[in-house]
Copies of this chain bind each other. A is one copy, B any other.
Amino acid sequence: MDFFPSALENLIDKFAGLPGIGRKTAQRLAFFVISLPDGEAEDFARAISEAKSSVRACSICLNLTDGELCAVCRSERRDASVVCVVSDPKGVLAIERSHEFKGRYHVLHGVISPMNNVGPDDIKIKELISRVADGGIDEVIMATNPDTEGETTARYISRLLRPFEVKVTRLAYGIPVGSSLEFADDATLMRALEGRMEI
């Protein structure tokens, strides 16, 4: 179907390549973008380039940042002795929204998932262990998603951390089982933090 100019077809293809975006939606988005005023379409293109080029992993917690350290690790008010382990940056956002947690994070960038060929070495577990080995951390809160893979990852990590003098806890099941951290409401997340238990 080549009734659209090739540059437009190309843009539709790009949108259709995004997760959860079908062909019709991609068309709608591409049409919208080319109908934007010149400056705004350029802004969009530039936003992609800049996000891609400037965003990197925080050298302490591996959360996304545009500097050497992320906002949380940079802050002197945060308690470096408590580390909350999340599977991805959206987890950090979710926990921050609860305004309950004053420690730092560790972003795994994934969970152990044999079905998807993701093993322990494919996510940032080594980096967490070496942070703990370096000392200064009293508690590690496992805040991976409360599903099978998140649970497996949490238990795997807690086993690796046993040799160290560190308390390992898990978010309490205030969060509904089988859902995703990203969609938990603030109050539920707050309860989950309060009720965290040692594993």
Contact = CB atoms under 8 A, between A and B. Distances in A.
A43 to B, nearest CB: 7
B93 A47 contact: no
A96 B4 CA distance: 11
Number of copies: 2
Interface of A: 1-8, 10-11, 13-14, 18-21, 24-25, 27-34, 36, 38, 41-52, 54-55, 63-67, 70-72, 88-90, 92-93, 96-97, 182-183
A55 to B, nearest CB: 5
B7 A55 contact: yes
Contacts of A10: 47, 50-51
B72 A3 contact: yes
